């Protein structure tokens, strides 16, 4: 077995008195789609933010292709190939959609090349038609897709999607999942946080379950659906 592309071991993150993450370990193989699930407040977004360097963990290691990323600034981690989207959507609101996405391409390209790449990313995500609109004028689902296009424009190896499918209808969600599968075929590794169980179950090769900042289970979607600890975390003790 080859070494995993992303290896998280024993990561802990504390905010004041709150232990947001404790001893989280997971490894992700190149080309995998891993689903990260758990109740609200379980630490999913905190884990993403820690992985991309917005938070610095107090303990543990985060290795991408064997290189330790702990302590690196987010832009260095982006350059190494790991990027996340923001759950609450963090676009550059006064800029056009194209300029938003283009900015992601500037890390590796000149403006004209980044612009061409940005157009391709917009096309892939299915929003080429709104390239000229101001980000502030978009609907929430549109914004979420711009967020994904912008992350793709950085040409990542590992993409962390934080509820990118929120507010999509069923048809849109199917199209989006087809895109993610296509990206995986092209070599991208994905970790997705998502609340839509239907999407998670059909999309992911493997699930990781967080609860109160701890990893309580990992396995295939079928295994996870039957895991008593997971059922308890979601539905309470009596249901388990």
Partner 1 sequence: MSGLSPRHWAGLALLAAFAIALPFAFEPRGYGIRILCLALLFAAMAQSWNIVAGLANQISLGHAAFFGIGAYTSTLLLIHFGITPWLGMFAAAALGGAAALLISLPTMRLRGHYFALATLAFGEVMRVIGNSWGGLTGGPVGISVPFAQPSLALMQFRETRSSYWLMLAALVLVTLVFVAIKRSRLGYRLRAIKENADAAEVIGVDTTRTKIIAAVISGALTAALGTLYAQFQFFFDPDTVFGVASVSVRMAMIAIVGGIGTAAGPILGALFVIPLEELANQVFSAQAAGLSQLVFGLLLILVILIEPRGFMAIGPRLQRLFGKGDRR
**Could you list the residues that contact partner 1 (CB under 8 A)?**
52-54, 73-75, 78-79, 83-84, 86, 90-95, 99, 102-104, 106-108, 110-111, 150-151, 153-154
Q: What would you report as the CA-atom Rg of the chain, rounded to the nearest whole angstrom?
A: 18
What sign does the CA torsion over 21, 15, 143, 92 have?
A: negative
Nearest to partner 1 of 148, 200 (CB atom): 148
In order of 59, 86, 211, 229, the CA distances from 217 in angstroms are 21, 25, 9, 8
Nearest to partner 1 of 108, 157 (CB atom): 108
Nearest to partner 1 of 160, 230 (CB atom): 160
Q: How far is the CB of 151 from partner 1 (least distance, A)?
A: 7
Nearest to 163 by CA among 24, 38, 6: 38
Angle at alpha carbon of residue 203, lines to 153 and 193, rounded to 5° = 65
Q: How far is the CB of 52 from partner 1 (least distance, A)?
A: 5
Number of H helices, E strands in the chain: 9, 10
Q: How far apart are CA 97 and CA 91, in angstroms?
A: 9
Q: How far is the CB of 174 from partner 1 (least distance, A)?
A: 27
Q: How far is the CB of 233 from partner 1 (least distance, A)?
A: 29
Q: How far apart are CA 181 and CA 158, in angstroms?
A: 14
Q: How far is the CB of 49 from partner 1 (least distance, A)?
A: 9
Nearest to partner 1 of 127, 199 (CB atom): 127
Nearest to partner 1 of 136, 195 (CB atom): 136
């Amino acid at each position: 077995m080859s070494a995993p592309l992303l290896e998280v071991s024993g990561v802990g993150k504390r905010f004041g008195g709150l232990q947001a993450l404790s001893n989280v370990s997971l490894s992700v193989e190149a080309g995998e789609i891993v689903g990260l699930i758990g109740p609200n407040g379980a630490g999913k977004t905190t884990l993403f933010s820690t992985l991309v360097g917005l938070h610095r963990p107090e303990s543990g290691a985060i290795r991408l292709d064997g290189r330790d990323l702990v302590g690196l600034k987010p832009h260095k981690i982006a350059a190494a190939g790991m990027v996340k989207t923001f759950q609450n959507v963090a676009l550059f609101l006064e800029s056009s959609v194209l300029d938003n996405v283009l900015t992601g391409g500037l890390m590796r390209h000149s403006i004209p090349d980044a612009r061409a790449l940005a157009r391709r990313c917009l096309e892939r995500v299915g929003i080429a038609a709104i390239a000229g609109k101001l980000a502030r004028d978009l609907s929430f689902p549109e914004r979420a897709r711009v967020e994904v296009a912008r992350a793709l424009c950085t040409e990542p190896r590992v993409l962390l999607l934080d509820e990118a499918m929120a507010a999509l209808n069923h048809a849109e969600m199917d199209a989006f999942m087809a895109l993610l599968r296509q990206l995986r075929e092209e070599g991208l590794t994905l970790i997705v946080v998502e609340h839509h169980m239907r999407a998670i179950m059909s999309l992911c090769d493997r699930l990781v379950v967080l609860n109160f900042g701890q990893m309580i289970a990992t396995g295939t979607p079928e295994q996870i659906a039957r895991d008593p600890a997971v059922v308890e975390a979601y539905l309470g003790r009596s249901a388990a």
